[in-house]
């Protein structure tokens, strides 16, 4: 008798496992949710580990250009479609004095960086970073030192970068070989000042006072610049108060408030890890509400947006000095879901910067002087190449799951984009399910789909698969399928990221 009960139970489990999951997605190209800013495809380079030295810059490498920057990193940055790069930190910037990094290289001081414990040689400073930005065709985004730095340092840096010659600091720039202004448009007012780990950590009121004065002086030096306030970077009980205070105090000066978020599979629980971006959705929604509240209360007419200027998976290399995280298939899905979040919130998130570009928690690595791509490179590349235009609001119906604090998490994480210029519709789908494909009915509600779809897929047989210098197990595959103009069925494979690209008629 016991045997029979066991067999029946076993059959029930097997049949539940083999049941196909079904879902529905409805797309309406008229349901728009804001235009996608190309600054969503930004990145970040910090003086940390092998990101700057031994990463973007390595004069001794066989790959170095005349200025000492690696040509392969520059090419890969372009291929990945990076639009803007934040620099020089990160935690590093809170102890950085930019004047250390200009003038004759052999006379620049060596200093101990208290953020990461390295010796900073100052061989890459403002003029070199601008060379890199130009070569890689990215907009420079400079973050000022709101930790140990002064108001004068902040405004003088703007003058050095942006003023025409004729003033002390712009003449200094010319003397250093760069008479033309760099016209740096994006300036950050410090980094993660809400965190106790930060040099010069402050409470929200003290930060707001200092940042407000810095903002005034920086804008008086060049009123065309855009300012990004340091928003929340850790999500304990106080983050909302931080953001509200900063927004309230700086509302007439800032153009963006920054948010930072890192994820990790700390509990080795696939489903909990896959749910993390529902927290990111929530943080964005709450901050968007606060922006609206502050703007309404104080009748602010100018837009204030969110710059999500640090995000990534980062947990294995936590507490390790070089932060050289090796990514797997699962991590590539999380990065794709961050990008889905930003697209879904394209009305308010107008900049996002993956932390970081090379070697340090990065989509590209250098091993023995050879550049190779981590798993996370592939979703980043696909989004930046294809997702431009208007963000849409897709209707999604699918099974859900609970994991830890996360309840009713849909197995499918979806965003969608319509590009009016190219008439291309993009549907970006992460199937969070570890083992099952999800058969999805995709219905189009406005206009006619073409008869073909290009399918890009990032996947691998095992979610733990990683890439190495010798093997790219995880990468993008591409195929074309025939579809019906009104709608079609697509089977999203287990633990995959799929981008469907369809030309509208
Ligand atoms: O990107 C690594 C570090 O993470 C940055 O320096 C800091 O801003 C964040 O805590």
Tell me: the pLDDT tens digits for 371-413? 999 999 999 999 999 999 999 999 999 999 999 999 999 999 9
Supply the DSSP string of 349-418, one letter for each residue: EEEEEEE-SBSSS-SEEEETTEEEE-TTHHHHHHHHHH--EEEE--EEE--EEEETTEEEEESEEEEEEE
Ligand 1: residue whose CA is nearest its atom 7: 90
Give pLDDT tens digits for 190-237. 999 999 999 999 999 999 999 999 999 999 999 999 999 999 999 988
Note the pLDDT of residue 485: 78
Helix, strand, or coil here: 311? strand
User: CA 241 to CA 253: how far, in whole Å?
Assistant: 19
Asked if residues 237 and 243 have their Cβ atoms less than 8 Å apart, the reply is no
Helix, strand, or coil here: 433? coil
Task: Tell me the HSE value of 276 on the side-chain side, using a 13 A CA sphere.
Answer: 25
Residues near 416 by beta carbon (within 8 Å), at least 6 away in sequence = 27, 343, 391, 392, 393, 394, 425, 426, 427, 428
Ligand 1: residue whose CA is nearest its atom 5: 90
Mutate to test the pocket of ligand 1, among 355, 357, 359, 363 (most ligand atoms within 8 A of CB): 355
Mutate to test the pocket of ligand 1, among 91, 96, 320 (most ligand atoms within 8 A of CB): 91
Mutate to test the pocket of ligand 1, among 260, 319, 362 (most ligand atoms within 8 A of CB): 260
Poorest-pLDDT segment among 344-348, 409-413, 432-436, 443-447:
443-447
Distances (CA, A) of 382 to 16, 198, 259, 262, 471: 34, 34, 23, 21, 20
Distances (CA, A) of 47 to 90, 212, 322: 8, 26, 11
Residue 434 pLDDT more than 70?
yes
The whole-number average pLDDT for the span 233-246 is 95
Domains, the chain, with CATH or none: 18-32+392-504 (2.60.40.1180), 37-386 (3.20.20.80)
Q: Output the ligand 1 site: residues, CB below 6 A.
A: 46, 89-91, 191-192, 310, 355-356
Ligand 1 centre distance from Cα of residue 345 (Å): 23
For 114-203, where are the alpha helices, taking DSSP H only?
Answer: 126-136, 151-162, 168-175
Ligand 1 centre distance from Cα of residue 130 (Å): 21
Ligand 1 centre distance from Cα of residue 90 (Å): 5
The candidate with the shortest Cα–Cα distance to 277, out of 290, 264, 291, is 264
Ligand 1: residue whose CA is nearest its atom 1: 355
Give pLDDT tens digits for 315-329. 999 877 799 999 999
Ligand 1 centre distance from Cα of residue 388 (Å): 28
Ligand 1: residue whose CA is nearest its atom 2: 90
Is 177 buried (19+), middle (13-18) or exposed (0-12) by CB count in 10 A? exposed
Share of the chain above pLDDT 90, in %: 93
Verify whether residue 192 is a known catalytic residue: yes
Question: 225 — phi, psi (to 5°)?
Answer: -75, 160
Query: Buried b vs exposed e over 398-434: b needs ≥16 C-beta within 10 Å?
Result: beebebeebeebbbbbbbbbbbeeeebbbbbbbbbbe
Note the pLDDT of residue 2: 54
Ligand 1: residue whose CA is nearest its atom 4: 90
Ligand 1 centre distance from Cα of residue 461 (Å): 32
Mutate to test the pocket of ligand 1, among 48, 118, 192 (most ligand atoms within 8 A of CB): 192
Residues near 287 by beta carbon (within 8 Å), at least 6 away in sequence = 231, 232, 243, 257, 259, 306, 348
Ligand 1: residue whose CA is nearest its atom 3: 90
Ligand 1 centre distance from Cα of residue 452 (Å): 43
Among the atoms of ligand 1, which is closest to the Cα of residue 323? 2
Note the pLDDT of residue 284: 98
Band (pLDDT 50/70/90 cuts) for residue 20 is confident
The whole-number average pLDDT for the span 422-441 is 98
Ligand 1 centre distance from Cα of residue 89 (Å): 7
The whole-number average pLDDT for the span 344-353 is 98
Residues near 449 by beta carbon (within 8 Å), at least 6 away in sequence = 425, 483, 484, 485, 486, 487, 488, 502, 504, 505
Report, in angstroms and rounded to the nearest whole number, the Rg of the chain calculated over CA atoms. Answer: 24
Ligand 1: residue whose CA is nearest its atom 9: 90
User: CA 119 to CA 96: how far, in whole Å?
Assistant: 12
Locate tokens 């989004």: which residue? 383
Ligand 1 centre distance from Cα of residue 45 (Å): 10
User: CA 130 to CA 188: how far, in whole Å?
Assistant: 16
Note the pLDDT of residue 321: 79
Question: 68 — phi, psi (to 5°)?
Answer: 95, 0
Query: Buried b vs exposed e over 16-46: b needs ≥16 C-beta within 10 Å?
Result: eeeeebebebbbbbebbbbebbbbbbbbbbb
Note the pLDDT of residue 88: 98
Task: Tell me the HSE value of 74 on the side-chain side, using a 13 A CA sphere.
Answer: 20
Residue 303 pLDDT more than 90?
yes
Among the listed residues 159, 192, 325, 424, the single catalytic one is 192
Among the listed residues 159, 310, 325, 424, the single catalytic one is 310
Verify whether residue 205 is a known catalytic residue: no
Among the atoms of ligand 1, which is closest to the Cα of residue 197? 10
Among the atoms of ligand 1, which is closest to the Cα of residue 262? 4
């Amino acid at each position: 008798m016991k045997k029979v009960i066991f067999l029946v139970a076993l059959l029930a489990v097997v049949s539940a496992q083999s049941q196909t999951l079904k879902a529905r997605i409805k797309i309406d190209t008229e349901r728009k949710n804001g235009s996608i800013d190309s600054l969503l495809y930004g990145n970040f380079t910090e003086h940390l580990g092998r990101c700057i030295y031994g990463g973007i810059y390595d004069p001794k490498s066989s790959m170095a250009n005349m200025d000492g920057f690696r040509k392969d990193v520059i090419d890969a940055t372009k291929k990945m479609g990076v639009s803007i790069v934040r620099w020089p930190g990160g935690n590093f910037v809170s102890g950085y004095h930019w004047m250390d990094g200009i003038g004759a290289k052999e006379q620049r001081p060596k200093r101990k960086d208290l953020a990461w414990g390295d010796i900073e040689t100052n061989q890459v400073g403002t003029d070199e970073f601008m060379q890199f930005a130009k070569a890689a065709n990215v907009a420079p985004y400079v973050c000022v030192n709101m930790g140990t730095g002064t108001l004068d340092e902040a405004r003088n840096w703007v003058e050095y970068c942006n003023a025409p010659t004729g003033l002390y600091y712009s003449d200094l720039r010319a003397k250093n070989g760069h008479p033309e202004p760099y016209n740096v448009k994006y300036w950050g007012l410090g980094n993660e000042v809400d965190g106790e780990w930060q040099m010069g950590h402050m409470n929200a009121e003290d930060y707001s006072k200092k940042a407000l004065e810095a903002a005034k002086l920086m804008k008086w030096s060049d009123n065309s610049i855009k300012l990004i306030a340091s928003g929340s970077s850790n999500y304990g009980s106080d983050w909302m108060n931080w953001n509200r205070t900063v927004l309230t105090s700086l509302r007439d000066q800032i153009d963006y408030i920054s948010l930072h978020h890192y994820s990790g599979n700390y509990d080795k629980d696939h489903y909990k890890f896959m749910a993390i971006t529902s927290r990111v959705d929530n943080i964005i929604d709450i901050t968007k509400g606060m922006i609206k509240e502050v703007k309404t209360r104080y009748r602010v007419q100018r837009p204030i947006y969110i710059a999500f200027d640090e995000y990534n998976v980062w947990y294995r290399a936590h507490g390790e000095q070089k932060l050289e995280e090796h990514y797997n298939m699962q991590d590539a899905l999380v990065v794709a879901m961050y990008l889905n979040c930003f697209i879904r919130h394209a009305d308010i998130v107008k900049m996002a910067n993956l932390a970081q570009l090379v070697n340090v928690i990065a989509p590209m690595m250098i091993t023995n002087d050879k550049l190779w791509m981590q798993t996370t490179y592939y979703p980043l590349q696909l989004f930046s190449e294809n997702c431009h235009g208007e963000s849409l609001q897709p209707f999604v119906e699918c099974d859900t799951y609970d994991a830890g604090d996360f309840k009713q998490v849909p197995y499918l994480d979806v965003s969608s984009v319509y590009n009016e210029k190219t008439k291309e519709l993009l549907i970006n789908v992460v199937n969070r399910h570890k083992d099952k494909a999800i058969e999805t009915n995709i219905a189009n509600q406005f206009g006619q789909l073409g008869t073909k779809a290009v399918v890009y897929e990032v996947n691998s047989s095992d979610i733990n698969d990683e890439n190495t210098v010798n093997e790219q197990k995880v990468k993008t595959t591409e195929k074309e399928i025939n579809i019906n103009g009104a709608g079609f069925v697509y089977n999203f494979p287990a633990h995959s990221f799929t981008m469907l690209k369809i030309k509208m008629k």
